[in-house]
Amino acid sequence: MDRAHLATAIGKSTSFVPYPSSLTDFEGTLFFMGKRDLDKRLCLAWQKGEAPALLQDFCGEPFRVTVEKIECKVLCGYLDHTNAVGLRKHLPWTGPQVIGILPSVGLGDRLGLATPAHVRAVRGTGLSAVFAQQSIREMQRTGRTPDDVMDTATFGVFQEGYAEGFGADADHLKTMEDLDATIAAGFTMFTVDPGDHVDNAAQTDDLPTLERKFAALPLVELETSQADLTARLLDREVPLPDGTVVFFDRETFLRAAVKYGRALIHALRMYRHLAQHHDAPFDFEVSVDETATPTSVAEHVFVANELKRTGVRWESLAPRFVGEFEKGVDYIGDLAEFRRTFAQHVAVAQRFGPYKISLHSGSDKFSIYPIAAELAGGLVHLKTAGTSYLEALRAIAAVDPALFRELLTFAMEHYPEDRASYHVSARLENVLAPEDLADDELATVLDEFDTREVMHVTFGSVLRAQESGKPRFKDRLMQTLAEHEETHYETVRAHILRHVEPFARR
């Protein structure tokens, strides 16, 4: 029997209407995602007879249905961890894989609802996608876990029938405990953030201070010594493929070593731990973007040279670029200077890799995408996160203006506190008061610089807010988006498509 016909018949009998794109045959069992009102289930159907052995890996409610005189059995299970693990086991394309140095885009999903929209935006672009992506900091603020991030990506990929493969990025990891939690959840990409160990003062320290700091570096933990490191780089020229020659005079050498020496030690520790405890291939990224000062070409050479010497294998690196990469808004800075320095970073990646240059806080940086795509070619990873949350709020503005007004008011109240851990410059006096806006104007405020940043960085407070012992906003937010699922998907898809199209490899 035609699987679509069977799924439709099962849907009429069980009231779980199938998502057509999810219909998948496997070993005599029909898998599909079904929906009844706002309730989604993973459904497995087979003709009457001995139950398939794979059912032992799933849990759910059994049904009997008759389709054209053929008796079938159906198991409809919740979208829980057990069923996600079962899907990944029997339909491997619903689980993550390594991406390597293929051009890619990371798509964070703070609410756990956006993967279908992300799939629709990326499908057909030729880009590899990372659908499970969240930092430990964001998980804490959203009340999520590594398993939850992984599972919602799995179900979203299955719902859309996306069998092209995807990655799972444990983002901005700072501790061994963070590594262990995300290894256990099955992540395949690990972004280590040693930014807390970067010495930003090295940018302006005088030479005697730099000499003193250099002598104090515990370089034995970097598997070297002050004498050996000096012999390797001091007064040496490093030619790059674009014709640039980096020369390490005394000052350049000391600033690079002092600024990034302890950060490299921490990154090496994390890599060694990961290599020891992760028994499958993985992608590794080093991120120094959340620091106070830009990464110079010489500093990038220093970092790459030492990573390579110590045997670290990495697929991408995120420098701190010139200009400002504030959250959820376009690039702030001199585009000509960005082009010049970005070309140098690409040259370093070609010389010491090849590996990808990773654009962190990459959401909505529309003015630099053509530059990055042109200069990096395929050696690029674009990382986005909060922009999908903001576009979910845009959908809310369209379908529930009253809720959006509440969210905007709450965000304005909590912005002074929440902005502390983010690089933003929005000013509350520039945000239009909700009561001054007509319903059809609400969505447009998310195009305003200040409003966009205010609502971006307050997501954690919104999702954790309590009232009378219950979530103040989260349940209403999730229910409204579920009730208007296609509006939500289309709003996010259209926005993410603007991000990926400049990098498309059709």
Q: For residue 129, give Cα distances in angstroms to 23, 275, 361.
A: 22, 23, 16
> What does the angle CA 236 – CA 241 – CA 247 come to, to the nearest 5 degrees?
20
Whether 177 is catalytic: no
Q: Which of 109, 151, 160, 171 is catalytic?
A: 171
Which of 285, 306, 326, 450 is the catalytic position?
285
Residues 6+ apart with CB under 8 A from 228: none
| Residue 285 annotated as catalytic | yes
Report the C-alpha gap between 288 and 236 in whole angstroms.
Answer: 24
Total residues found in the chain within this entry: 506
On the 0-12 / 13-18 / 19+ scale of CB atoms within 10 A, 506 is: exposed
Q: Residue 469 contacts by C-beta under 8 Å, 6 or more apart in sequence? A: none
Q: Under 8 Å CB-to-CB from 455, ≥6 apart: which residues?
A: 390, 393, 407, 408, 411, 446
Q: How many CA atoms are closer than 13 Å to the CA of 166, on its beta-carbon side? A: 32
Distance of CA 143 to the CA centre of its chain: 17
- As to burial, measured by CB atoms within 10 angstroms (0-12 exposed, 13-18 middle, 19+ buried), residue 270 is buried
DSSP 503: G
Q: Which two tokens stand for residue 44?
A: 């497995």
Identify the sign of the CA torsion 311, 130, 365, 360. Answer: negative
Give residue for tokens 């590899």: 128
Active site residues: 171, 285
